[in-house]
A = this chain, B = another copy of it.
Amino acid sequence: MKYGIVIFPSKKVQDLANSYRKRYDPHYALITPHLTLKSPFEATDEEINVIANAIREVAKSTDPIELTIKKFSSFSPVNNVIYLKVEPTEEILSLHKALHSGKLESNPEYSFVPHITIGQKLSDDEHSDVLGSLKMMNIEQSETIDRFHLLYQLENGSWTVYETFRLGKDLE
């Protein structure tokens, strides 16, 4: 089965992202707006138990993190992907690293650029039009993230949550 790890930002940010994704992201109906912490990977039912335990340890030893968004950006020319750029703070980089170390070892295809996709698979023209108008907008959003989620993918491509991991030691 295919699994992935994501952060769902606040409803406010998800609603904003969806207002663009509806038109510009073919994955709109498959998953709600998210920041990918670990790209899709394969695991068996047995493996995922070991993996979930390892993720739980990471979550326990990670404090809630600040997520700050200041602008729209794009992966062009590599990909015509437009996204909300999330500030690459020490905290989020080290959470990403912890989710790719030890029992969770894996080599990400790309270097980690924390982001929330709002458009993808755009034509070159559409990409530059949309990005051009978004670049003119001011955005300033900061929020505390106290959890992330392990998801798995169904046959139709949509994602279901397998488990939530709350950040921090002070949990009952």
Contacts and interface: CB of A to CB of B under 8 A. Distances in A.
Interface residues on A, range: 20 to 34
Name A's interface SS.
mixed
Interface in A127-172: 147, 149, 152, 154-156, 158-164, 166, 172
B163 A8 contact: no
A29 interface: yes
A164 B55 CA distance: 14
B32 A155 contact: no
Interface of A: 1, 8, 11, 14-15, 18, 22, 28-29, 32, 53, 56, 147, 149, 152, 154-156, 158-164, 166, 172
